[in-house]
Chains A and B, each alone.
Chain A
Amino acid sequence: MLNGLAVGCIYGLVALGFVLIYKATELVNFAQGDLLMLGAFTCYMFVVWYGVGYWVAFALAVALVALFGAVLDATILRRIIGQPQFSVVMLTIGLGAIFRSFASIAWGSEIYTLPTPFSARATRLAGVAVSHEYVSIIIGTVVLCAVLYAFFTFTRIGLAMQASSQNQLAAYYMGIPVKLMFSLIWAISAGVAAIAGVLLAPVSLIDINLGFIGLKAFAAAVLGGFGSIPGALVGGITIGLIELFSGAYLPQGFKDVAAYVVLLVVLAVRPQGMFGAITRKKV
């Protein structure tokens, strides 16, 4: 149960990254999972190769990946805004392939484990062994969500971001630097992906295919309704639990595809998801 919840939180965090970017710029970032992989690898590099402390490495990895996201937006993705969605999909798929290739050249295609302060420790809680890694994921998700919520509701920059995602032109007329806001959104989204990567690292192992978790996070984002932040988290947790239960009660093999089956069913039955709204052009 706790495992499903924790994995679901990771899906939710990655889905949150999709949703943030989608809401702001209407781009769907297929490279989100690969940003997560970059985050995990960067943290691993700092901890194991350079011997930096875990928390410092965590912060450094998140900051680096966030910066990378902002630079990515400013140099590449900004050129594509306003072009058909298809171009964006292809562009981010291409970027994802580049990231994976970069990771395999820079860090090799071996599988690594990240040592953390909570590795292989467990507390007995009401008779059940609760491993600290899973608890750390859940706590991390809750804290991150609270921080993001506070940021978007109470700070000037957060409000400016909301404004520019609702109407770019109007926000621009009001003196909001929309381009900068978009870069910041990319930075936040990449940072969230990196956090998810570092939190996930002790549970799952780090290798260059870690990014494929992004595909399952799509299921989470769609289930929650693409474009709804609470929806992304709820969707992620739901997918995590569904995976857990289908692994326990259904024949072997269903666990891996459960998320995709849910995704297809949701898209066929209720494309707007649990919390989304669908828009149609009025003539």
Chain B
Amino acid sequence: MSVRFVFKTSYDQDLGIFRDDVQRNWYLALLVGLLVLPLLIPAYVVDVSLVFIYGLCGLSLMVLAGYTGLVSLGHAAFLGIGAYTHVYVVHDLGLPWVVGVALACVVTAAVGVLVGLPALRMTGVYLSIATLAFALIIQEALTRWERVTGGLKGKAVEKPVVFGVHLGGDTAFYFLCLAFLIAGLWLTGNLLRAPTGRAWVAIRDSEIAAQSMGVNLAVYKTSAFAYSAALMGVAGALFAHKIGFLAPDIFTVLLSIQFLLMVVVGGLGSLHGALFGAVFVALLPVAISQARDSIPVWLSAIASPFGKEAGAATFLAVDQFVKKPGLEPGLFGVILVLFILFEPLGIYGRWRKIQLYFSTFPLYKRATFRRQKTYMRSERLR
């Protein structure tokens, strides 16, 4: 394999979304694959539509954390605000579905600006703490404001009706989510190539340098927050229909941490990463619940050569262990820690490394991806 060089003959080639025809055809193939997927695996369509919703959440957090460098620990709150706004507008006010989504988007964006404004004075870990506090306040507000949110009793959500069309089935909802995800990807991808996105990346890499080059920190940080929150609001509207029942204890800190897990595991600073992470986080519980049933069987099969009792005892012990309720969050924690320690660039980073390994075959250098560490306090203030 040799290095593929894209020979450009016109300026229009720079403006295209895809690098070349080969790349475009791959994405088209992926799209066709996703369109026929409900026919192939009807049983898992529900899980895959959750992947799409999480993909939107991942995009949202990727814009904020991966591209602008503002790490939010409270994104579940935006999801909650979006979901509750949408449900309130559609069910209680009786407005059309599209208006619900649009309002969810606008309201979360406004809240995003509200959070973003004090965030202008904070950097790094302070911002994470502040967003965490914000999320906890919102959660309490969702519990207390019973007239709108239904409080702890929760709120049932009906199936979506888009432009008079009832989208009751899982497959229809699947395509709805897919459409929103593609729209979100297209918008975000283009925004990130535009001056706005470049300004965000500049802020992430060095706030002071960006400011010196004329980037208005206040405008761009707030707009990053607003855009991220708006995406989250749309995702929230879809999420409301997905889970079918809203309660304040869904939008906890743990959900926010799952979103962060998504962008870290996927790979910070890439849209691919957001999607890889979404696939990972949405399908991991499915995989875990499958593994819960199969792992004890395997292990007892391994232990059974040592006698029938050993096999049965192993089965019982392992079965009891994997059915403990606290295991799943711990597993998430272990995965998070392992990724941070051993693959800070995430799944997308690993994919890039494999690509580079083959395209530069005998000449691959491990050091290409080495990150520079900073030990001096002054180096870390950027």
Contacts and interface: CB of A to CB of B under 8 A. Distances in A.
Contact of A104 (B268, B324, B374, B378): B324
A97 B122 contact: no
Nearest to A93: B257
B140 interface: yes
A63 interface: no
Nearest to A254: B140
A54 interface: no
A26 B377 contact: yes
B122 A94 contact: no
B336 A91 contact: yes
Interface string B333-353: 111110011001000000000
A100 B264 CA distance: 21
Contacts of B212: 283
A271 interface: yes
A2 interface: no
Contact of B341 (A28, A80, A101, A102): A80
Contact of A79 (B144, B336, B341): B341
A139 interface: no
Interface string A166-178: 0011000000000
Contacts of A226: 126
Contact of A264 (B71, B133, B382): B133
A275 to B, nearest CB: 15
A277 interface: no
B65 interface: yes
Q: How many interface residues does chain B have, given as a range?
A: 35 or more
A90 interface: yes
B160 to A, nearest CB: 32
Contacts of B125: 28, 85, 89
A198 B378 CA distance: 39
Q: How many interface residues does chain A have, given as a range?
A: 35 or more
B366 interface: no
B324 A105 contact: yes
B381 A93 contact: no
A98 B140 contact: no
B129 interface: yes
A215 interface: yes
B130 A267 contact: yes
A168 B328 CA distance: 38
A76 B136 contact: no
A54 B135 CA distance: 38
A93 B376 CA distance: 24
Nearest to A91: B340
Given A83-B371, A94-B340, A104 B130 contact: no
A222 interface: yes
A98 B137 contact: no
Q: Of residues B121, B327, B371, which shows the largest number of chain A Cβ atoms within 10 Å of its Cβ?
A: B121
B143 interface: yes
A208 interface: yes
Contacts of B332: 94, 97
Contacts of A82: 373-375
Nearest to B66: A86
A108 to B, nearest CB: 9
The dominant DSSP class at the A interface is helix
Nearest to B212: A283
A222 B130 CA distance: 10
A281 interface: yes
B126 A267 contact: yes
A219 to B, nearest CB: 7
B124 interface: yes
A147 interface: no
Interface string A87-125: 101110111111011111100010000000000000000
B334 A94 contact: yes
A283 B57 CA distance: 37
A35 to B, nearest CB: 14
B8 to A, nearest CB: 35
B140 A257 contact: yes
Contacts of A89: 71, 73, 125, 128
B208 A98 contact: no
A268 interface: yes
Contacts of A208: 326
B334 A98 contact: yes
Given A83-B373, A263-B130, A264-B130, A253 B144 contact: yes
B231 to A, nearest CB: 20
A95 B333 CA distance: 6
A271 B382 contact: no
A98 to B, nearest CB: 4
A97 B330 contact: yes
Given A168-B375, A253-B140, A280-B381, A218 B129 contact: yes
A93 B137 contact: no
A256 B257 contact: no
Contacts of B260: 90, 93
Interface in A183-212: 208
Contact of A281 (B65, B208, B253, B324): B208
A81 to B, nearest CB: 8
Nearest to B254: A97
Contacts of B261: 90
Contact of B333 (A81, A96, A168, A253): A96
Contacts of B335: 94
Given A82-B373, A253-B143, A279-B377, 11 more contacts: A89-B73, A90-B336, A94-B332, A94-B340, A104-B326, A215-B132, A253-B140, A267-B118, A267-B121, A267-B126, A279-B381
21 contacts: A76-B341, A81-B375, A89-B125, A91-B341, A93-B73, A93-B333, A96-B333, A97-B257, A100-B330, A101-B330, A101-B331, A101-B333, A104-B324, A219-B133, A253-B140, A260-B134, A264-B118, A267-B129, A271-B121, A280-B381, A283-B212
